Structure formats: C-alpha cells, structure tokens
Amino acid sequence: MVQTNSMKRAGTSYFGVRIARHARRDMADLAVRGYTGVLHTFSENDFAYYRSMMAEIVAGSHAEGLYVQASPWGLGRTFGGEAESRWVAFHPEECQVLDDGRRVAAACLNSSAYRDFCKEWADWVLECGVDAVFWDEPAWVVPIHVGVDDSSRWTCRCDHCAERFGGPVPAELTPEVQAFREASVVDFLREVVAHVATRGGTNSVCLLPATDGLHGLSSWDDVAALPGLTTLVTDPYWKHWNESAGPFVRRFARLLRETAERHGVAAQLWVPSFGLGAEDIPELEAAIVAAREEGVDDLWTWGYEACRHMSHLATPDAPQVWEAVSAALTGRPQTAVTEAARRELADLDLRSARELVRLLNDEDATVPAAVAEVGDELAAAIEAIAERLARGGRLIYAGAGTSGALAALDAAECGPTFGSPPGEVLAVVAHGEAAEDDAAAATNALLEHTLRSEDCVVAVSASGSTPFALAALAAGREAGALTVAVACARDSAAAKIADHEVAAVVGPEVIAGSTRLKAGTAQKLILNTISTVTMVRLGRTYGGLMVGVVPDNAKLRDRARRNVVIASGAPEEQVDEALDAAAGDARVALVSLLAGVDADAARARLDAAGGSVRKAAETS
C-alpha cells in the first residue's frame, strides 16, 4: 500500500441533536462501535441559540475519546449542509448576484463582511474546544439550492466581485471569469484558514470531487499549499455524479493522496451512507476498499445512523446501511453496545452517592427517547399481535435473566388489569443464569403449550442474541406463529429470525454488561406498551378506564365501581344493582347499563364481541 500522511481513523458526521445527554449516549455508541472521530455541524442557528450547548456536546465527545471536527453547516449557503442561513436574510446587500443580474440568498465569498462573519463563527467553534475546523465544500452557490431551477446559471457579479476583478464582471462565463471564480474560492479559504491557524487551531478543507465545471477547482494544489492547512479532504459521493463507486472513488482518492503528499498535509476521504438502500451496500464497501488501496486511511461517512432521523436523506434500509458502513470503516463487527465498558466511568466506584444518583438519573432520561425512536416498528408489531389475539391466539413472552423476569411480570399483570382470560398472555422464562444458553429448554417449554398459527411469540433479549430467546423465536416461526424480537441492538440475530424487530438502542450501561439498567428499563417500557395497547385495541378498556380489572379486594372493588359510574353516567344505586347482577364483573355491568339489557344478555354480547365493551354495548 502507498504510504501517505493520513492517519488511520474512522469518523462520521452528527447533526440534529442539541440535548447534551442524548448526544452523549450517541457518542458512547460511536466509541463502542469503533469510531475514533466525529464531525459536529455548527449551524448559524447554533451560533445564535446553542452556543454553550455545543461546547457541552464537544466535551461529551472528547470524553469518549473521539477526535472532534466542526463543520460550518450551511453557513451563508456557501458550504455543504441543509441548514438555512440567517446571515443572508440580515445582509441581502452582501449576497451573490447571478449572471443574469438576479440577487440570490447566498453570501458572496468576496464580501469582507461575510469573511468576518466566518471568522467569528470559527472563533466560537474553537472556544467550544474542537480539534479541527472542517471547511465543508466551499463553493459558489448551487442555483437549485436557492430556488433557481436552471443549472446553467452562475455567480457572482456583485460589486464586491467587480472590485476584486478590476471592473464589472462580464455576463459571459469566459476563461478569465472562470479563473477569477476559482481564485476567489482559494482566496476566501486562504483568509479563513489563516485566521484559524493564528489562533492555534487546525484546518481541514473538503473539496468537491470535481476539477472542472461550475463548482470544481482545476488545481487542488492551490488549496493544499495554503498556509495553516492540516488536512485536505474530498467526498466522492458517486451517486450524485451518476458514477460507479469503485472507479470514481479510486480516481479522487488518488488525486487527493498525491496532492496531499506533494504539500505535506494529511488526506481524508468521506463516503456517503445517507440515501443508500441495501442494494447499494456492495458499492459502498467497494468505495472504502478503493480508498484504502489508494493509500487513504482517514475515512469518514456522512452520517450517523445513515441519517435515518432525517426524512429527506433516510431510506428504509438506513439501519442495515449503517451497520455495513460501520463494520467496513472500523474493521470491527457491529455487536450489541449494551455490553461495552465506558472509559469515562473508570472512577465510578470513587464517586459520591449523590453523583451516582445524578448519573443514573441522566442515563435513565435517555431511555424514553430510544423507545420513541422505534414507535413505528412497535406499533406495527402491536397491530399484528392484536389481530392474532382477536382470532383466539395467545401472547407468549420468552426471555432469560432480567428480560425473562420483566416478561413474566408483564404477563402476570394482564389478567388482573385487563380481565385477560387465563392463558391468553403467558411467559416462558429461563430459570437460572446458565439456562439462558439452553436453547432446548425454550423449545421444549413452547412445545408444551402446543403453539398455533394464531399465537404470537415475543422474545425479549437485550443483546438480541440470547440462545433461549433465539430458540423461542425459531419454535414460533416453525409453528407459523407471529414472531417479534424485542432488543436493545439493531439488526441482531433475533431480528433476523423474527417477523418484527423492536430495537431500542440505549447505548452502553453505567455498569458494563448490567442490562438490568437502561436496557431493562427500555424493555419494561416496550412490554408495557405491547400489552397495554394490545388490550386497548381488543376493547378491554372503555375510554381511558380500566373496566376489566378483577375485583379481588376492597380497593379493586371500589375502583371497578367508580369506573362503571364514570363510564355509564348512571346513578350509583343503579350501578350497584348492575354490579350485583353481574356478580361483580364491571364489564358485564357496564354493557348492561349502556345497552339497557340484563346481565345474561350483556355477558353474551361480550362473548360475541371478543370481550370488547364498546362493541358489545353498540351491538343491536
């Protein structure tokens, strides 16, 4: 392999999250996966409203051992990124002018005011403690990015450009004008790079993969030679240029490496993971191989989790693409992050009780968001479960250890809470630590229950790889039952077997491997949601009332009576009579009152409606 000045590094961009505790969880996830660098996007909105928060996010990234770069995301509409520019709205007179004389919403690179603003932005990100300022795709504006639906248009012909050009800029794109446009980009970079360097900062400049056209630079040497530049970067996103990944990336990786070597700077290359489907993964892997074969080892991807959180950039295959690019960049198999040790907690046992309480509270606070992220997958699984149970099927949980205990608890609560008949919701649990590896135990336990195609097997495992849980899913699949994998790692072994995957990724635990903490909390939330929403969908509640509660003690009898009073609107004396006639069954009493029928007819209606109070009451 060709030797270069680039160091071996795997990095990714990260954007959109401005709550430090959530960002810390994701930084821990990156470190566990084997990433060594992260690029944070510092937009104009962040500059105005999130100045100190961005410093906290940088500090959290450093705590995970990550090298941190800062990108001027969408700044002035002269850099890469989807963020909008506030500056151009406040300074329309400093904006670029198209060849046809129209002014557009992008700052002019030759505007002294805009250059000063970029320096102010750089001062801020340096104060936040970043390791490098990453000048991302500096270029004259792309017309379509500012609403101009004509790719032949170009800029800039404003007064600032005329002053530097030595007179009005011609309306024709002559060789002289094109040379001026390129020189303006280089001069802009020279000024901002020097500014960062004089303040002790480090600069990276990312050039578009083009040496001609309206936005390419014919000479990369002009940028690589800039005083204060540390790293030369390019991002050959082959799909944007309608090219094949391997040859396209190889060509620009070679140009990048050769240019960097000539000027004694490092080389860094970015590949996309956004906008890719599963069918693009071989191309993505070929791109990474090509870059390495050309001697570039400092490799990054845009962006975290294949940008699955951004509708415009995501694809349904984003989780699969993210696992693939992470494995290819880091050289590390992507496994469950719940088991990983966290280096910033090496002094955990030396901390005070109050510090530990605060730490656990902060960690727990990230769990609901992780569960909310899989809301669509969870809802789809529940709809399928409710449909099976409506046909007489059963909800069968399976798990070991903490997961099994949580499954057993949820199953045990369904009868008393919702009036679920015996055997409708049950749990098959591995007893003892060693039993979680006993696949045969799960298979035999499920065989005892004589699985049917109407049943649902929900396997619960933090890692998604517990043999007991996997065997339960396999047995369910063999019987034609619905199968659901509940885990805290995406694309797990369990997910590959199951019909539905519900993976709430909560990141590494405070105590490595103790999945009774965040992972346990996430699983409890998910199981609560599965059983509760399923029962609601089956009509086992009425409105927001627990009318199916089994009145086994005075407190529950009083609760059942109160719910029937609220739901029916009937006088208390009438409710008491209905409950007596229904032998204390609140659902029978409620249907009797709502439909105006006796207890026997109400009970028959309930049976015909599959236990749904609303359906039974509305039956004519």
Q: Kindly write down the DSSP assignment for every residue of 147-169, as one continuous string.
A: T---TT--B--SHHHHHHHTSPP
Which residues are CB-contacts of 237 (< 8 A; sequence separation ≥ 6)?
209, 270, 271, 272
Task: Supply the angle between the helices 599-608 and 586-595 in degrees, to the nearest 10.
Answer: 100
Q: Which residues pair with 486 in a beta bridge?
A: 460, 502
Whole-number Å distance between alpha carbons of 569 and 350: 59
Whether the link from the prior residue into 303 is cis, omega within 30° of 0, is: yes
Residue 296 contacts residue 269 (beta carbons within 8 Å): yes
| 280-314 residues labelled b (16+ CB within 10 A) or e (exposed) | bbebbbbbbebbbebbbbbbbbbbbbbbbeeeebb
Dihedral (CA of 444, 450, 453, 457) sign: negative
Please choose, from the candidates 142, 9, 156, the residue with its C-alpha nearest in 3D space to the C-alpha of residue 68: 9
From the number of C-beta atoms within 10 Å of its C-beta (0-12, 13-18, 19+), residue 436 rates as: buried
Residue 133: enclosing H or E segment and its boundaries?
A: strand 132-136
Cα of first residue to Cα of last residue in the chain, in angstroms, is 80
Residue 324 contacts residue 305 (beta carbons within 8 Å): no
CA 81 from centre of chain: 18
Whole-number Å distance between alpha carbons of 124 and 122: 5
Catalytically active residues, by annotation: 413, 436
Q: In which region does residue 129 sit, left (phi positive, over 0), alpha (psi from -120 to 50) or beta (all else)?
A: left
- C-alpha distances in Å from residue 199, one per residue of 209, 301, 433, 486: 29, 28, 57, 50
Whole-number Å distance between alpha carbons of 521 and 370: 11
Strand-strand pairing, 103-107 and 95-97:
antiparallel
- C-alpha distances in Å from residue 474, one per residue of 27, 407, 446, 450, 484: 34, 18, 10, 14, 11
- C-alpha distances in Å from residue 118, one per residue of 87, 96, 104, 324: 10, 16, 19, 36
Q: Which pair of structure tokens corresponds to residue 306? A: 């294949």
Polymer length of the chain: 620
- C-alpha distances in Å from residue 296, one per residue of 233, 291, 513: 10, 5, 36
Per the listing, tokens 């992050």 go with: 337
Whole-number Å distance between alpha carbons of 326 and 34: 8
Please choose, from the candidates 535, 538, 560, the residue with its C-alpha nearest in 3D space to the C-alpha of residue 547: 560
Cα angle 364, 365, 369 (rounded to 5 degrees) comes to 110
